[in-house]
Structure 1
Amino acid sequence: MSPKSQRVRVVAAGLALLGLVATGCGSSTGTSSADAETLIVFTGQSGDYQGNFNPYSPTVNEGPGTIFEPLFFFNAVKRDAKPKPRLGKEFSWNADGTELSVTLRDDVKWSDGQKFSAKDVVFTLDMVRKNNTMNSTGYRGTATAVDDTHVVVKFDEPAFMEGPQVLGRLWMVPEHLWKDLATPATDPIKTPVGTGPFQLDESKAQAITLKSNPGYYGGEPAVKKVRYLSLSGNQAGADALKAGKIDWQTGPVPDMKNVEKNYPGYKAITIPQNQTALFTCSNAELGCAGPQTDPAVRRAIYHGLNREQLNALAFQDTSSEISPGFALLERDQPYISAKLRDKSAPMGADVAKATQQLESAGYAKGPDGIYAKDGKPLSLTLKVVSGWTDYITAVNTIGQQLQQVGIKVTPQQLSWNEWSEQRNQGNYELLIDAVDQGPAADPFYTFSYFFDSSNTARVGETANPNFGRMKDAQVDAALAALKRINPEDTATRQPHFDVIQTRIEEVMPYIPVLTGGTTSEYNAKKFTGWPTQDDLYAFPAIWSRPAHSEIFMKLKPAGK
Structure 2
Amino acid sequence: MSRDPNVKEDVVMMSRSPGARARAASALLAAAVVAAGCGPSDTSAGAEGSTLVTYSGQSGDYQINFNPFAPTSIGGGGTIFQPLFFYNVLRDAEPAPRLGTEFDWNEDGTQLSITLRDGVTWSDGEKFTADDVVFTLDMISKHKGMNNTGYAGRAEAVDDAHVVIRFDRPSFLDGPAVLGRTYIVPEHKWKDIADPAVAVVEDPVGTGPYLLEEFKPQAFTFKANPDYWGGEPAVKRVRSLSLSGNQAGIAALKAGQIDWQTGPVPEIEDIGKNYPGYQATITHANQIALVTCSSATLGCQGPQTDPAVRQAIYHAIDRTQTDALAFEDTGSDISPGFLLPSRDGDLISDRLRNRTAPMRPDLDTARQILESAGYAKGPDGVYAKDGVPVSLTLSVVAGWTDYITAVDTMSQQLQQAGIKVTPQQVSWNEFVDSRDRGAFQLIIDSLYQGPAPDPYYLYNYFFSTAQTAAVGAKPGPNVSRFSDPQVDQALDALKLLNPTDTAARQPHLDAIQTRIEQAMPYIPVLTQGTISVYHDAKFTGWPKDGDLYASPAVWAHPDATEVLLRLRPTGK
**Fold match by TM threshold 0.5:** yes
State how 1:24-423 maps to structure 2 within 5 Å.
Answer: 24-26=36-38, 32-78=45-91, 80-423=92-435
Counterpart of 1:10 in structure 2 is: 7
SS at the partner of 1:286? coil
- Distance across 2 between alignment mates of 1:61 and 1:10: 14
Task: Report the residue type matching 1:255 in the other structure.
Answer: E
Counterpart of 2:472 in structure 1 is: 460
Answer yes or no: is the 8 Å Cα contact 1:136–1:449 preserved in 2.
Answer: yes
SS at the partner of 2:297? helix
Counterpart of 1:436 in structure 2 is: 448
Once the two structures are TM-superposed, the CA of residue 29 in structure 1 deviates from its matched residue by 11
State the TM-score, normalized to the length of structure 1. 0.97
What is the root-mean-square deviation in Å for CA atoms of aligned residues?
A: 1.6
- Distance across 1 between alignment mates of 2:564 and 2:229: 15
**Which deviates the most, 473-482 or 27-36?**
27-36
Answer yes or no: is the 8 Å Cα contact 2:265–2:531 preserved in 1.
Answer: no
SS at the partner of 1:476? helix
- Distance across 2 between alignment mates of 1:23 and 1:234: 18
**Which deviates the most, 214-223 or 13-22?**
13-22
- Distance across 2 between alignment mates of 1:262 and 1:181: 49
Answer yes or no: is the 8 Å Cα contact 1:314–1:394 preserved in 2.
Answer: yes
SS at the partner of 2:282? strand
Once the two structures are TM-superposed, the CA of residue 234 in structure 1 deviates from its matched residue by 1.7
Q: Deviation string for 1:204-258 (max 9, x for gaps)?
A: 1110000111111111111101000011122211111111101011001221112
Once the two structures are TM-superposed, the CA of residue 337 in structure 1 deviates from its matched residue by 1.3
Q: Does 1:555 align with 2:555?
A: no
SS at the partner of 1:272? strand
Counterpart of 1:529 in structure 2 is: 541
Alignment counterpart, residue 462 of structure 2, candidates 428, 431, 450? 450
Answer yes or no: is the 8 Å Cα contact 2:8–2:403 preserved in 1.
Answer: no
Once the two structures are TM-superposed, the CA of residue 31 in structure 1 deviates from its matched residue by 7.2
- Distance across 1 between alignment mates of 2:177 and 2:426: 32
Q: Deviation string for 1:509-551 (max 9, x for gaps)?
A: 0000000000011100000000111001111110111111111
SS at the partner of 1:332? helix
- Distance across 2 between alignment mates of 1:442 and 1:163: 12
Once the two structures are TM-superposed, the CA of residue 7 in structure 1 deviates from its matched residue by 2.5
- Distance across 1 between alignment mates of 2:47 and 2:270: 30
Counterpart of 1:541 in structure 2 is: 553
Answer yes or no: is the 8 Å Cα contact 2:9–2:402 preserved in 1.
Answer: no
Once the two structures are TM-superposed, the CA of residue 18 in structure 1 deviates from its matched residue by 4.0
Q: Deviation string for 1:411-468 (max 9, x for gaps)?
A: 0000000011111111111010000000111111100000011000000111110011
- Distance across 1 between alignment mates of 2:146 and 2:397: 24
Q: Deviation string for 1:463-515 (max 9, x for gaps)?
A: 11001111010111111111111111111111111111111101100000000
- Distance across 1 between alignment mates of 2:396 and 2:245: 15
- Distance across 2 between alignment mates of 1:289 and 1:429: 7
Answer yes or no: is the 8 Å Cα contact 1:137–1:166 preserved in 2.
Answer: no
Answer yes or no: is the 8 Å Cα contact 2:61–2:218 preserved in 1.
Answer: yes
Task: Report the residue type matching 2:325 in the other structure.
Answer: L
Task: Report the residue type matching 1:214 in the other structure.
Answer: P
SS at the partner of 1:271? strand
Once the two structures are TM-superposed, the CA of residue 30 in structure 1 deviates from its matched residue by 8.7
Answer yes or no: is the 8 Å Cα contact 1:6–1:61 preserved in 2.
Answer: no
Task: Report the residue type matching 1:76 in the other structure.
Answer: V
SS at the partner of 2:374? coil
Task: Report the residue type matching 1:305 in the other structure.
Answer: I
Task: Report the residue type matching 1:492 in the other structure.
Answer: A
Counterpart of 2:507 in structure 1 is: 495
SS at the partner of 2:369? helix
Task: Report the residue type matching 1:145 in the other structure.
Answer: A
SS at the partner of 1:326? coil
Structure 1 residues 17 and 190: CA distance shift in structure 2, 3 A: farther
Q: Does 1:424 align with 2:466?
A: no
SS at the partner of 1:199? strand
Once the two structures are TM-superposed, the CA of residue 333 in structure 1 deviates from its matched residue by 1.7
- Distance across 1 between alignment mates of 2:138 and 2:223: 30
Once the two structures are TM-superposed, the CA of residue 559 in structure 1 deviates from its matched residue by 6.0
SS at the partner of 1:101? strand
Task: Report the residue type matching 1:315 in the other structure.
Answer: F
Answer yes or no: is the 8 Å Cα contact 1:18–1:231 preserved in 2.
Answer: no
SS at the partner of 1:82? coil
Counterpart of 2:527 in structure 1 is: 515
- Distance across 1 between alignment mates of 2:62 and 2:403: 22
- Distance across 2 between alignment mates of 1:155 and 1:175: 23
- Distance across 2 between alignment mates of 1:375 and 1:243: 55
- Distance across 1 between alignment mates of 2:137 and 2:37: 39
- Distance across 1 between alignment mates of 2:76 and 2:537: 27
SS at the partner of 2:342? coil
Answer yes or no: is the 8 Å Cα contact 1:272–1:320 preserved in 2.
Answer: yes
- Distance across 1 between alignment mates of 2:59 and 2:386: 42
- Distance across 2 between alignment mates of 1:387 and 1:47: 8
SS at the partner of 1:511? strand
Answer yes or no: is the 8 Å Cα contact 1:17–1:231 preserved in 2.
Answer: no
- Distance across 2 between alignment mates of 1:554 and 1:543: 17
Q: Deviation string for 1:49-98 (max 9, x for gaps)?
A: 111111111000111111001111111111x2111111000110000000
Gaps of 5+ in 1: none
SS at the partner of 1:434? strand
Once the two structures are TM-superposed, the CA of residue 17 in structure 1 deviates from its matched residue by 5.9
Once the two structures are TM-superposed, the CA of residue 33 in structure 1 deviates from its matched residue by 1.0
What percent of counterpart residues are identical? 61
SS at the partner of 1:330? helix
Answer yes or no: is the 8 Å Cα contact 2:55–2:261 preserved in 1.
Answer: yes
Task: Report the residue type matching 1:493 in the other structure.
Answer: R
Task: Report the residue type matching 1:33 in the other structure.
Answer: G
Once the two structures are TM-superposed, the CA of residue 23 in structure 1 deviates from its matched residue by 3.4
Answer yes or no: is the 8 Å Cα contact 1:241–1:263 preserved in 2.
Answer: yes
Answer yes or no: is the 8 Å Cα contact 2:56–2:262 preserved in 1.
Answer: yes
Gaps of 5+ in 2: 11-21
- Distance across 2 between alignment mates of 1:24 and 1:160: 47
Q: Deviation string for 1:328-372 (max 9, x for gaps)?
A: 000112221121111000000000000010000000011111111
- Distance across 1 between alignment mates of 2:330 and 2:337: 21
